[in-house]
Structure 1
Amino acid sequence: MDIHLTAMQLIRIVEGVRSVDDMTAAMAIVAARLGFQYFALSHHVDVAAVGNAIRIHNYPARWADYYDRQALGVSDPVHRASHVTSVGFCWSRMPQMIPLTAKDRRVLALGREEGIGDGFTVPAHVPGEARGSCSFANEANQPMPQDMLPVAQLAGAFAFEAARRLWTTRGHLPIPPPPALTDRQRECVLWAARGKGDWEISRILGVSEETVARHVKMACERYDLSKRTSLIARVLFDGTITFSDIFGR
C-alpha cells in the first residue's frame, strides 16, 4: 500500500465536506480505510452545557448516552491524556501519560463492555477555543492497525480542522478574539503568574504598588473577572501568555 497516496486520498475526502452529514459519512469512510470501526470528532466539553461544540461520532448509542449523562467530555481520561501531547497516541499508552484514577479505570472498563477496545487519538489544540480531538477506535479484541497510525495522525488533524470550518459556517466558530491587554497590563499579569505580589512587581517594573494593582484590576475587568487567579487561567488558555513565558524555556 502506498501510504502517502492513502493519506492524500483521506485528506481530500475530509477537506471536501460541505455539511455535518457529509462529515459523518466522510469520517466513516476514513475510519474504515484506516482499519477502525469507530470515530469521534469532539470538543472536550460537557455537551449538555455547551450546545455549539463540535461533536460527530458513530459510537454505540448506549455508550454515547452514558457518556453524555456522566458529562465525560470534560473528565474523559482519553481527552485528558491528549492535553499532554502534541501527537496522536494509542489509548494503551495512557497509564504512562497521566495518572489514571479509579473512576478512569471504571470508565475504560465500561467502554470495553460496550464493545470499544483500544483506540488512537489525535489532539487538536487551538488557543482561545475548547480543546478537542479526533479519535479512532476498534471493537474490543480487534488488533490496532499499527502501520496506518501515521496516516491516522494526518487524517485526524485535517478532519478536525474541516469540522472547525463547518462549525464556523454555522455561526458557532471561531470563538470571539480574547480581550486585548495593554503591554503594561500583560507585564503585571505575567509577573503575578510567576508568583510575585504587587509590591514585588512594583519594584521589578519601577512603578508604584497602587499602579500594579490598578493594571491587574483593569485586566480582570477586560475579561469580566474578579479574581487574578481566574485571570491567569484565562490568559494562559487564550495564549496571551504561555507557560514558557512564566517558567522560561
Structure 2
Amino acid sequence: MRSIIANMMFDVIDRLDKISSEEQAFAELRKVSDFFGLNAFAISGIPEPHEKMDPYVLLNGWPEEWAARYLERQYFRIDPVIQRTLLSDNAFVWSDALDPASVDKRALDFMGEARDFKFIDGFSVPIHSIMGFRAIVTYAAEEVDMPQEGRSALHMISIYAHNKIKELKSDNKPQLVKRSVQLTPRERECISWCSEGKTAWEISAILGISERTVSHILENAQRKMNTTNRVQLVAEALRAGLIR
C-alpha cells in the first residue's frame, strides 16, 4: 500500500501531465512547496559562466525583488547552490551539502543577502543529461524539515515539472524522443518497481534475479532514455507513458 506522500507524488504527476499552461504548472508547484513547508521556488537551465541566466529561467517563483537582483547581478556565477548542482545529479538539502567555511567571501556575502529574504535553507534538484544539458529545480525556506520519503517524492516531482515546463514553452511539442524509445518488458518492470521506491536488491528479490542483473537492466534503460540516475529515469518513463 502506498504512503500518503507517495500518493501525493503520483497525484501531482498526474495533474502535471494534464496541464496546458505555465500558470497551471506554477500553481501546482506552489501547492507542492506549501505541502513541504517551502517558501519559494524556481526552475532554470544553468548557463555557461560567460552567458546570462535570464534566457534560461523557465519558471520563477522567487520574490520579485530577489529575482530581479539575482538576474541583474548574475548571481548564478557565485551561488554555492549552483556550484554544488554542477558537481552531482543528486538532490540535496542546502544545510546538509553546503559548508559555509568552504566558500569564498563573495559567496558568503551572497548567502547573507539571501538570508534577508528568509532563504536560510532549501532543497535543490540538479537535472543533468548524458548529452551535457544542465538545469536546476530549487526551493528555499527558513528551514527544511522533510523525511527521506518526502525528499525522494519532491525529487521526482521536480524532474517531472521541469520537463513539463520545457514542453509547454515549446508549444506543447514533446521534448523527449523517448516516446519512441523501445524498452524491454523487463526494463519496464524494473523501472515500475523503482517508481514504488524499491532498491535494486529489493527488485532482485521480487523478480528472482540477481541484484547485479537489475542494476545492469536499469543502466541500459538509463542510456536509452538519456538519463543520469534512477529518479530521472522513472520520471522520464512516466512522462513518455512507458510505465504507469
Q: What is aligned with 2:39?
A: 37
Provide the TM-score with structure 2 as the length reference: 0.61
Q: Deviations over 1:107-150 (max 9, x none)?
A: 11110112212100011113456511111221x2x442235212
Change (3 A) 1:7 1:71: same
Aligned ranges for residues 41-120 of structure 1 at < 5 Å? 41-45=43-47, 49=52, 52-95=55-98, 99-120=102-123
1:11 equivalent to 2:13? Answer yes
Match of 2:152 among 150, 153, 156: 150
The number of equivalent residue pairs is 172
Q: Classify the secondary structure of the residue corresponding to 1:116.
A: coil
| 1:43 positional shift | 1.1
Q: What is aligned with 1:121?
A: 124
CA contact 1:118–1:144 (8 Å) conserved in 2: no
| 1:71 positional shift | 0.7
Change (3 A) 1:165 1:36: same
| 1:81 positional shift | 0.4
Q: Classify the secondary structure of the residue corresponding to 2:56.
A: coil
Distance in 2 between residues matched to 1:111 and 1:134, nearest whole Å: 17
Flag structure 1 segments of 5+ consecutive residues without an equivalent.
175-238, 240-249
Aligned ranges for residues 168-207 of structure 1 at < 5 Å? 168-169=170-171
Tell me the C-alpha RMSD between the 2 structures. 3.0
Question: Which structure: larger Rg?
Answer: 1
CA contact 2:46–2:53 (8 Å) conserved in 1: no
Flag structure 2 segments of 5+ consecutive residues without an equivalent.
177-225, 227-244
Provide the TM-score with structure 1 as the length reference: 0.60
| 1:16 positional shift | 2.4
CA contact 1:119–1:135 (8 Å) conserved in 2: yes
Structure 1: 4+ residue segments shifted above 6 A = none
Q: Deviations over 1:56-113 (max 9, x none)?
A: 1221111111101111234321111011122210111333599422111111111011
Instruction: Specify the code of the residue in structure 2 equivalent to 1:19.
Output: S
Q: Deviations over 1:140-168 (max 9, x none)?
A: 2x442235212111111111111221233
Distance in 2 between residues matched to 1:114 and 1:131, nearest whole Å: 26
Q: What is aligned with 2:27?
A: 25
Q: Classify the secondary structure of the residue corresponding to 2:120.
A: strand
